[in-house]
Structure 1
Amino acid sequence: MLYEWVLAALPSEKAEYESWRVDVVLGDLSVPYEFQHKPLHALSGGWQRTAMLAAAWITEPDILLLDEPTNHLDLHRIGLLQKWLTGLPRVVSVVVTSHDRAFLDATTNRTLFLRAEQSRVFQLPFTAARAALDEADAADERRFANDLNKAQQLRRQAAKLKNIGINSGSDLLITKTKQLNERAARMEAAAMPAHQDRSAGDIKLANSGTHAKALVTLTDVSVETPDGRLLYKTGQKWILPGDRIVLLGANGTGKTRLVKLIQEALDGAMDAVKSGPSVIPAYSDQHLSQLSDSDTPMTAVAGQFDIGDQRARAVLAGAGVTIQMQDTKIGALSGGQKARLAMLVLRLRNPNFYLLDEPTNHLDIEGQEALEDELISHDASCLLVSHDRSFLRNVGNRFWLIKGTKLEEVESPEPFLNMEMGAR
């Protein structure tokens, strides 16, 4: 049971007499009573993560170390976690690693960027710190260029003195020439090049384009649970070229069901879902189930697309799958490598319409930003589901909200996000 699991985190001499601590912690983390007495393995990943946090906090630590604490949490749970973290006593330090930019901005006041040569820390939350880091890197780049320019000027002066010294037979000028060259060499050796990030792999998308006026038409589609219970109806909806539609709704309301339903309808036939004959869809779900762990990256690419082995290896390397990993099982890849491989497979389909269910799962911040840039710069058309507030705000230009048993178009995601994040 979740309750007993958290209780077991207390030292044995405290567990018998201080079990009340469990009630307090689970109450602070808003864990419903009925969930407290369910087997941990029967709960979702989000509740399991909450239980892990409760077990850490009940020991009254001086410092909390949180590794991707928002993984598997819906927006409402993320909001509760943010509120809880910001309400902790100031004497408790919290160290967080996270790819959730909005979460970092809401809960942190210092940001450390780890680098092999020289890590940088700023007394700022993530977004402001990222801007400060970019400014610092730009200053380093200017300083490096300036140092090299000064060294080159010294070498030019040395070359002139050398000619004068040779022509005049002056040993003094020859000595000064040597001194100038040595000084230039010291400046070049001391010059520090600006930091260059090592890319985890490119994320590139394609947009083959279409002359269709509407990519997809939904005619009052019924979205149901697997056992046939109605969740909501879509009404009459159109997805047009250039639309980047974000599907909003609380957990369990049927966002993934609609995306999957449209994907299946485009592959087959469904009277309530129409698509233009030129529509080429590409679908990726939150578990990347379009990839088989038993395949290799090479078979996933060269086996599906007629691009030849040499080209397949080149595009895989560009996506961050090294030569050494290309013939190993996909199951051995990291989450980030799998996500980049999945995006590569989508691109090679040369689609003009993307169906993306939690596409930023497993992507680092660099990957999230690259995916954002690709969707926007290619004017890609897509229907997407995401709990990543920064991503959906940056990418979306239309928003559909599941409200009760209806699908409504809304102007902005902010009222829904504010409600889900706990501003009720």
Structure 2
Amino acid sequence: MSEAKSSAISEILRSEFSQIDDSIYQYIEGVLDVGDDFQNSNEVYEAIGEVLHEVAANKGEDEIRKLCQQLLTVLKPDLVDGQQNGVYSSYNGGERKLLNNPVMMSDAASFMKENDGEAPAASIWNKPKGEDMKVDTRKLEKAEAKLQQKQQIKKEKNSNAPSNATASQVLTKKETRMEAKGTNNCKDIRIENFDIAYGDKLLLQGSDLSLAHGRRYGFVGRNGLGKTTLLRMISSGQLRIPSHISILHVEQEVVGDETPAIQSVLECDFKREALLKEEKELGEKMNGPSADPEMSARLSQIYIELQAIDADKAPARAAQILAGLGFSPEGQLKATKTFSGGWRMRLALARALFSKPDLLLLDEPTNMLDMKAIIWLEDYLQNWPSTLLVVSHDRNFLDSVPTDIIFLHSQCLESYRGNYENFVRSRTEKFKNQQREYEAQQQLREHVQEFIDKFRYNAKRASLVQSKIKMLEKLPELKPVEKEVEVILRFPEVEPIAPPAIQLDEMSFGYTEGKTILTRVNLSAGSDSRICIVGENGAGKTTLLKILTGEYNPTSGMRHNSRHLRIGYFSQHHVDQLDLSLCPVELLQTKFPGKPIEEYRRLLGSFGVSGDLALQNIASLSGGQKSRVAFAVLGTARPNFLILDEPTNHLDIETIEALGKALGKYQGGVVLVSHDERLIRMVCKELWVCAGGSVRSIEGGFDEYRKMVQRELQEVNK
């Protein structure tokens, strides 16, 4: 609120209520400050009228309503009150407006019961006053607490919002009124008719998002369409949801300090922490000379409250969550500052799972996890009690966890019941039905048009021709189904090399003397190999890949490479190492000079980077598009053996499918580290398990590995 408006409101209130209490004045000013959505004086009266009646018992309702009109005029000088809902007469300049039609009192009463929860017809025009005209201090304290919460939300509204992103949203009067009164206790979430733009690019237009309490929603769509932006808009408050619903968006890693990991998780339960702190303080006072019966009573009440929230079970629950996400018993006691960024993200996820918010927002939670932790998380989230909205490109995760799928495409959102497999089936059937309907209508149009053209100048059939013309005009205009462009990746053709391409004999490796990471590894891979390496984070998977590429040399044993071997290595940080100031064509020109522009564009096109995308700055591309550029750089070198470390981290589902097909057709060898079960099943014929300082090939493939992990998790949970 501007200083001029604040001064004018102060003058009105002080002149009308010379003895107004400062706390009441500050409360009224605060309500008016956050009440930007007031549309007429009735809404102002509903917000502060009751307080004004208590301040001035000698003033009637008409006087208070006129005062509310004056305050509204100060807040919104250009707003003129109109007739409201066809029920109440409104005020303009202090004068009553007559309604156009008579009003039935019973209808008005039922309207108020439906919208405001007030039933008796006698109370429609005048609300009865209580005998005690003093201000209810408890009510005032609650109102001030709500006001502070709203002001805090308003203050932080843009603090966490994505840079350059904006949102607009249409709020209904009923929602606004219920929010102002604090009467909305529903846990369902509905965000209606909203737009989201990122700079000049419109991401969503006129969209609706409905989230039913207790359901788990998978959020899918191509990279760069705005899924992450939508999650940030909800968590930052730019898209408004009822203030009583708690939100937690797992996006930033935990700040490292001296706090032990398990204590960091326990601190998320603010109520438990506050009760334990108060219990400790009262316990110390009870042992001192200042003890009194009130302290003893309060201490008993604290014990009851702690028992009600199962405070004694909280450490065990926190430890179980941390163990499931890969934290060892020793690791749970380590200070958070000792963990790497990836482990701090796991810690942030553990805090979110422990605190159980009303709405949990997860963005690619499986990116930071190994296969064992993913399997645990899938099982854990299947029993999630509140609402979950998760962005994921892990096909198996989306088949296991969600009860519903929200599909983002063409600047709008579509909801489907069931998991991802059901979504694919339903969407395919929907496309077929739409195409059949479109083709049937086109045939009808052609048939009718032929009749019109044939008898247009026949006087006897003029009326029939006219009716046919009108029928065509009334037909809804159907458009052909626009299917998303299929993503196709193609690695260049290469000459296969004689086996073995790479062989490890009694190979051991350690970074420092006395600390061995891998011991006595005996494995080999050829040009027809499709090998996936799995294991927990920190087990040595990336180290093994760097030994295979030759970046690290074994500390003992041998590594044999074919002399014709040309390795293409895709690291986890490959995308981050691209020169963001260049466009994809310029990047290839820099790394592989001497080719015509058409050749660079052809190479990029084979990895789905075509058209204007090839000429955009790499900085402006989405994570998945940058990954495709990185694959194009990899493919241009024409390697005959690919070593890939977590290649799916930034890819959408369609691109992961395309990568799986491309690797299946590739003529060289492949060694892959991935946690994407769908890709592993599509590509790999052999599984290497990295655990306990050794690497071994297992029979039975991924199915056997999953059974092995589930047995380990069952042992942990016993």
Deviation at 1:392, TM superposition (A): 0.3
The answer as to whether partners of 1:316 and 1:341 remain within 8 angstroms in 2 is yes
Residue 29 of structure 1 aligns to a residue whose secondary structure is helix
Give the 5 Å matches for 1:51-66. Answer: 51-66=347-362
Deviation of 1:60 after TM superposition, in Å, equals 4.3
Determine the structure 1 residue equivalent to 2:703: 414
Letter in 2 for 1:36: Q
SS of 2:409's partner is coil
Specify whether residues 82 and 406 from structure 1 end up closer, same or farther in structure 2 by C-alpha distance, changes over 3 A only.
closer
* 2:426 corresponds to: 132
2:368 aligned partner, one-letter code: H
Instruction: State the AA in 1 paired with 2:490.
Output: L
Which amino acid is 1:390 matched to?
R
Determine if the alignment matches structure 1 residue 253 to structure 2 residue 539: yes
| C-alpha distance after superposition, 1:219-252 (max 9, x if no partner) | 41514232252513332523133x3221233333
Give the conservation status (yes or no) of the 8 Å contact 1:285–1:356: yes
- 1:84-120, CA deviations, whole angstroms, 9 ceiling, x for partnerless residues? 222344xx23222211121222222222212336643
1:217 and 1:57 map into 2 onto residues whose CA distance is: 43
Task: State the shift of 1:23 in Å.
Answer: 1.9
Tell me: CA distance 1:392–1:323, structure 2 relative to 1, closer, same or farther (3 Å).
same
Counterpart residue number, 1:9: 268
Shift of 1:339: 0.9
Q: Which has the higher contact order (CA 8 A, sep 6+)?
A: 1
Q: 2: CA distance between counterparts of 1:423 and 1:106?
A: 18
**Please, what is the CA RMSD of the aligned residues?**
3.4
For 1:203 and 1:21, the matched residues in 2 are separated by 51
SS, match of residue 121 in structure 1:
strand
**Alpha-carbon deviation of 1:21?**
7.0
- 2:436 aligns with 142
**Secondary structure class of the residue paired with 1:234:** strand
**2:502 maps to what in 1?**
217
Residue 271 of structure 1: how far off its partner (Å): 6.4
Query: What corresponds to 1:67 in structure 2?
Result: 363
> Using the alignment, how far apart are the partners of 2:552 and 2:314 within structure 1?
50
Alignment partners' CA distance in 2, 1:5 and 1:40: 8
Q: Distance in 1 between matches of 2:540 and 2:354?
A: 35
**Alignment partner of 2:477 out of 190, 213, 216:** 190
| 44 and 144 in structure 1: CA distance in 2 versus 1, 3 angstrom threshold | farther
Unaligned residue ranges in structure 2 (runs of 5+): 1-258, 277-305
Q: How does 1:5-84 map to 2 (within 5 A)?
A: 5-11=264-270, 14-17=273-276, 23-31=315-323, 32-84=328-380
Q: Which residue of structure 2 lines up, in the alignment, with residue 154 of structure 1?
A: 448
Matched, 1:301 2:588: yes
* Structure-2 separation of matches of 1:353 and 1:38: 40
TM-score (norm 2): 0.51
How far, CA to CA, are the matches of 2:614 and 2:497 in structure 1? 40
Alpha-carbon distance in 2 for matches of 1:388, 1:235 = 26
1:277-316 equivalences under 5 Å are 277=564, 279-288=565-574, 291-293=577-579, 296=582, 297-305=584-592, 306-309=594-597, 311-312=599-600, 316=604
Farther-moved stretch of structure 1 (354-363 vs 44-53): 44-53
Residues 1:423 and 1:26: Cα distance change in structure 2 (over 3 Å): closer
2:519 is equivalent to residue 227 of structure 1: no
- With normalisation by structure 1, the TM-score equals 0.83
Aligned partners of 1:394, 1:423: CA distance in 2, in Å? 28
2:578 maps to amino acid: S
Q: CA deviation at 1:356?
A: 0.9
CA distance in 2, matches of 1:321, 1:227: 47
What one-letter code is carried by the residue in structure 1 that aligns with 2:608? A
Give the Å deviation of 1:75.
Answer: 1.4
- 2:671 is aligned with 1:390: no
Shift of 1:346: 1.9
Provide the secondary structure at the position in 2 that maps to 1:190: coil
Query: Number of matched residues?
Result: 408
Taking the aligned partners of 1:368 and 1:53, their CA distance within structure 2 comes to 24
- Residue 8 of structure 1 and its aligned partner are, at CA, apart by 4.5
CA distance in 2, matches of 1:23, 1:11: 14
The one-letter amino acid of 2:471's match is: R
In the alignment, is the contact (CA less than 8 A) between 2:571 and 2:647 conserved in 1?
Answer: yes
Does the 8 Å CA contact 1:74/1:251 hold for their aligned counterparts? yes
| Higher alpha-carbon deviation: 283-292 or 143-152 | 283-292
In the alignment, which residue of structure 1 is the partner of 2:622?
A: 334
In structure 2, the CA distance between the partners of 1:39 and 1:309, relative to structure 1 (3 Å rule), is farther
Moved more, 303-312 or 136-145: 303-312
5+ residue gaps in structure 1?
none
Alpha-carbon distance between aligned partners in 2 of 1:102 and 1:61, rounded to the nearest angstrom: 25
